[in-house]
């Protein structure tokens, strides 16, 4: 009988406004403040507030109910600014002791390949944020943006002091082995890798409300039975928090599903454990050897959601290569603004894939097409370059 490890990701990017050529050199503000506020409000009303209240109720009614969250730094920042009530609910939930917060890069970014130093800075910044908002010490478990994972990164993350790291359980990498447990990269000392069970996670994240799915509607009881029948030590169900109420609206029965889940699990004898408990209790099943980066995004489960076309590769490269110049200028606001433009969503919006992946990308895209996403980003980037150059000259 496996245990169940549930982790929710909550994140909101700072979407850019339609920043035109005519704004370059004139307008140092790149973000669509109204849009970002409106989306945060909408998602708060549909998900963050009611779902977190539900979690609080579940924790109270079922002391054995344990879950984990990763809250991106930019999300916490937006919520502090526009929705303090959301922050308070999370604080209350974390204070119950039933919730583990895990670590990520503050800006939900993709900078590791370019700069380990910048990556480490963002991880530390996120830890500092968690400490100041939730009063917790540095998390023991790390997850990278959209569950990006590969050996080299695992080694680096271990070097930052983490004991566990989350990863997509990519079938090709598991090579027939179960995702339900912990593995280890070949190049680490002791860091444990928790592999996501993509089928049981996507049953909730994607198929839950699909009337064409033979298992629809999915009840908590049925789901608990599936979990109980799984092999392995722990079933890792990792999903977006926004699944509850936003990606899947209330009328799909998603709240009802979660409301009954702890009870259904108890009936089946399944225990809830957090990622740290997994690290402490589960022994390593084997080597998980991932050379090229994997992620939980798209059907390709690689970096193609952010680096799949020339627009994305150019944009990511050009924002990251500003690092040395930006850091040479002692201006916290500029550093923050530059860092926010590293948020992976900017590049996600530039994706030109079709089919089901394309549908998911366009669901999230605030722009008419990936091309606008690219144009606005590059125009804003051009302005940032100019400001950085001006400030560099002024300083020298």
Active site residues: 146
Dihedral sign (CA 205, 307, 10, 362)? negative
User: Residue 391 interacts with another protein (CB under 8 A)?
Assistant: no
* Residue 91, token pair as written in the block: 């604080």
Give the integer Cα–Cα distance in Å for 170 and 105.
Answer: 22
User: Residue 120 interacts with another protein (CB under 8 A)?
Assistant: no
User: Residue 325 interacts with another protein (CB under 8 A)?
Assistant: no
Closest-CA residue to 206 (of 263, 172, 248, 261): 248
User: Residue 163 interacts with another protein (CB under 8 A)?
Assistant: no
User: Residue 21 interacts with another protein (CB under 8 A)?
Assistant: yes
CB of 387 to another protein, least distance (A): 10
CB of 317 to another protein, least distance (A): 8
CB of 379 to another protein, least distance (A): 6
Q: Binding residue for another protein (CB under 8 A) from 54, 199, 331, 386?
A: 386
Query: What does the per-residue mask of binding to another protein show for 329-368, with x meaning CB under 8 A?
Result: -----------------------x----------------
Site residues (CB under 8 A) for another protein, limited to 1-20: 20
User: Residue 22 interacts with another protein (CB under 8 A)?
Assistant: yes
- Interstrand relation of 164-168 and 192-196 (parallel, antiparallel or unpaired): parallel
Q: Binding residue for another protein (CB under 8 A) from 318, 325, 327, 336?
A: 318
Site residues (CB under 8 A) for another protein, limited to 69-88: none
CB of 17 to another protein, least distance (A): 15
Q: Give strand pairing partners of 70.
A: 9
Closest-CA residue to 76 (of 40, 46, 112, 47): 40
What Cα–Cα distance (Å) separates residue 249 from each residue in 205, 245, 256, 372? Answer: 12, 4, 11, 28
User: Residue 187 interacts with another protein (CB under 8 A)?
Assistant: no
Transcribe 252-294 into DSSP letters. Answer: GTHHHHHHHHHHHHHHHTPPB--HHHHHHHPPEEEE----S-B
User: Residue 320 interacts with another protein (CB under 8 A)?
Assistant: no
Name residues whose C-beta falls within 8 Å of residue 374's C-beta, 6 or more positions apart in sequence. 311, 312, 315, 350
Contacts with another protein by CB under 8 A lie at 20-22, 24-26, 309-311, 313-315, 318, 352, 369, 371, 374-375, 378-379, 381-382, 385-386, 389
């Amino acid at each position: 009988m496996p245990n169940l490890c549930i982790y929710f990701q909550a994140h909101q990017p700072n979407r850019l406004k339609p920043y035109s050529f005519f704004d370059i050199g004139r307008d140092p503000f790149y973000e669509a403040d109204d849009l970002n506020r409106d989306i945060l409000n909408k998602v708060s009303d549909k998900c963050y507030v009611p779902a977190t209240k539900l979690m609080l109720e579940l924790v109270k009614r079922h002391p054995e109910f344990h879950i984990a969250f990763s809250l991106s730094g930019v999300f916490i920042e937006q919520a502090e600014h526009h929705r303090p009530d959301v922050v308070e609910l999370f604080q209350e939930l974390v204070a119950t002791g039933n919730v583990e917060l895990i670590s990520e890069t503050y800006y939900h970014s993709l900078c590791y390949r370019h700069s380990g130093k910048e990556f480490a800075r963002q991880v530390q910044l996120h830890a500092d944020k968690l400490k100041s908002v939730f009063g917790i010490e540095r998390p023991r478990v790390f997850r990278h943006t959209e569950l990006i994972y590969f050996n080299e990164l695992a080694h680096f993350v271990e070097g930052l002091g983490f004991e566990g790291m989350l990863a997509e359980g990519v079938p090709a990498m598991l090579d027939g082995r179960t995702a339900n447990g912990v593995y280890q990269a070949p190049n680490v000392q002791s860091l444990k890798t928790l592999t996501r069970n993509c089928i049981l996670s996507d049953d909730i994240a994607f198929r839950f409300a699909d009337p064409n799915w033979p298992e629809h509607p999915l009840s908590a009881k049925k789901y608990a039975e599936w979990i109980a029948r799984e092999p392995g030590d722990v079933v890792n169900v990792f999903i977006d928090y926004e699944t509850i109420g936003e990606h899947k609206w209330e009328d799909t029965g998603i709240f009802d599903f979660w409301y009954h889940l702890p009870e259904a699990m108890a009936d089946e004898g399944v225990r809830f454990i957090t990622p740290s408990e997994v690290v402490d209790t589960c022994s390593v099943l084997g080597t998980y050897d991932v050379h090229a980066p994997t992620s939980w995004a798209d059907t390709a489960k690689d970096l193609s959601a952010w680096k799949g076309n020339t627009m994305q590769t150019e944009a990511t490269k050009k924002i990251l290569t500003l690092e040395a110049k930006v850091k040479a200028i002692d201006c916290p606001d500029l550093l923050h603004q530059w860092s926010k433009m590293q948020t992976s969503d900017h590049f996600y919006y530039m994706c030109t894939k079709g089919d089901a992946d394309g549908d998911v990308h366009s669901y999230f895209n605030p722009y008419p097409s990936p091309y606008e996403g690219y144009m606005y980003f590059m125009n804003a980037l051009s302005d940032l370059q100019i400001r950085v150059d001006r400030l560099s000259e002024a300083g020298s």
